[in-house]
Amino acid sequence: MRADSLDALLRQHLDAAQKLADPEQLWAGEAGRMLSLLLDTVLRAAAGLRAVEPLDYPAAFAALLDGAVVRPTFGRHPGCRSSGRSKRASAAPT
């Protein structure tokens, strides 16, 4: 196999993801927006990196995203979510 630029492999990966999933759902919500921004940054950084063998791409992709975390918006904690039913149930007298 011949080595391709990391930038080209990333673009092929993103094109495939958008063909397999509805792009509106793929990039939806807070996580989708954060992932979009992260991948935009990764694409810009990848433009200056060496070529990668296609078989090495998964490890390179994982290394580029290593440590990336999608956090909830300030003031929102994922553990604080509750449905209306559980709120009513917890408010009922015992």
Higher pLDDT, 72 or 22: 22
Answer yes or no: are the C-beta atoms of 3 and 53 closer than 8 Å. Answer: yes
Output the pLDDT for position 71. 67
Tokens of 82: 């509750």
Answer yes or no: are the C-beta atoms of 6 and 49 closer than 8 Å. Answer: yes
Q: How many CA atoms lie within 13 A of 68 on its CB side?
A: 15
Q: Quick: pLDDT tens for 37-88.
A: 989 988 888 888 888 999 999 999 898 888 877 666 666 555 555 444 444 4
Query: Locate tokens 């996580």: which residue?
Result: 31
pTM score of the predicted model: 0.65
